[in-house]
Amino acid sequence: MTTRKVQNPNSKGGSAFIWAVVAVIAIAALVFGLIIFNGNKAREEMREAQMADMTGITVEWADGEDLIHLKGANPDAPTGQLYEDFSCGFCAELHEETDAEMLQALRDGSINVELRPMVFLDRGAVSHSTNSLAAVLALISHGELDTAFTLRDYLFLNQAQMISKSNPDKLADLAKDYGASEEAVADIRESTFVEAAQKMGMDNLNVQRTDTGEDPYTPRVRFEGQDVDGVSDEGKTWVEVLTESK
């Protein structure tokens, strides 16, 4: 009869097996860690690529004002008024077509802009337009201009996805991803600037109605008391119209 020898698990051979398992786990953990690190680095690089560059542009807004002053290299350049609403689909289209051009024209000293946000599409509620504007105002108030205009850009370019699910927490998380300070993130999360956003929106609705004698709408560009097409039938943008008026 053949006798089968059973190896003691505490013997040298068993220890080798355990060390092999430990080595496999360590390698797996290292690979997993590298995947997470590379993923985080890729996301960080993507966020950096998306950041708005406000170099050369002065942004001024004081609590209670109904407009955000965008000033470039030439304070005497033609100044247009841009009315927009974060819930306005046509505003999102105009933003995509002309915003980069606007920022470059500001840097070049070709134009200045009075940005006049509105929230009338919230219809009196505190919803997407109001919360989005409040988040941007919070960032501007803390001097975090690149982040403020990166968030503004994101909200317009991703309007279809954001309009039904944005809330102060979601907006605060987005701002944090784009490098906002803890203080600014807290102001967004706590809706600190919601009343300022509501007032700004109502004031600009009244400014537009008084200025034009018509029912307000967005997007709307005004220059020297006249409407300017966002993009004309010939493809000329409002930025080009202002630039050529010098």
Q: Is the pLDDT of residue 243 over 90?
A: yes
Tell me how far apart the alpha carbons of residues 32 and 117 are, in angstroms, rounded to a whole number.
Answer: 46
pLDDT value of position 35: 56
Domain co-membership, 24 together with 106? no
Number of other residues whose CB lies within 10 A of the CB of residue 54: 19
Using 50, 70 and 90 to split pLDDT, how confident is the model at 13?
low
**Phi and psi dihedrals of 4, rounded to 5?**
-90, 130
Q: Residue 145 belongs to what domain range?
A: 54-244
Residue 4 lies in a domain: no
Q: What is the pLDDT of residue 24?
A: 76
User: For position 234, which CATH number holds?
Assistant: 3.40.30.10
pLDDT-derived band at 41, boundaries 50, 70, 90 = very low
Q: Which two tokens stand for residue 56?
A: 């050369």
Name the more confident of 17 and 9. 17
- State whether residue 32 is helix, strand or coil: helix
The pair of structure tokens assigned to 85 is 């609403």
Looking at the fold, whether 116 and 154 belong to one and the same domain comes out as: yes
pTM for this structure?
A: 0.81
Q: How confident is the model at residue 15 (pLDDT cuts 50, 70, 90)?
A: low
With beta carbons less than 8 A apart as the criterion, state whether 212 and 75 touch: no
Establish how many alpha carbons lie within 13 A of residue 1's alpha carbon, considering only the half-sphere containing its beta carbon: 3
Number of domains in the chain: 2
Kindly state whether residue 7 falls inside one of the protein's structural domains: no
CB 68 within 8 A of CB 61: yes
Query: Same structural domain for residues 20 and 68?
Result: no
Least confidently predicted of 15-24, 82-91, 145-154? 15-24
CA distance 121 to 201: 10
- Give tens-digit pLDDT for 107-154: 999 999 999 999 999 999 999 999 999 999 999 999 999 999 999 999
Q: Would you state the pLDDT for residue 202?
A: 97
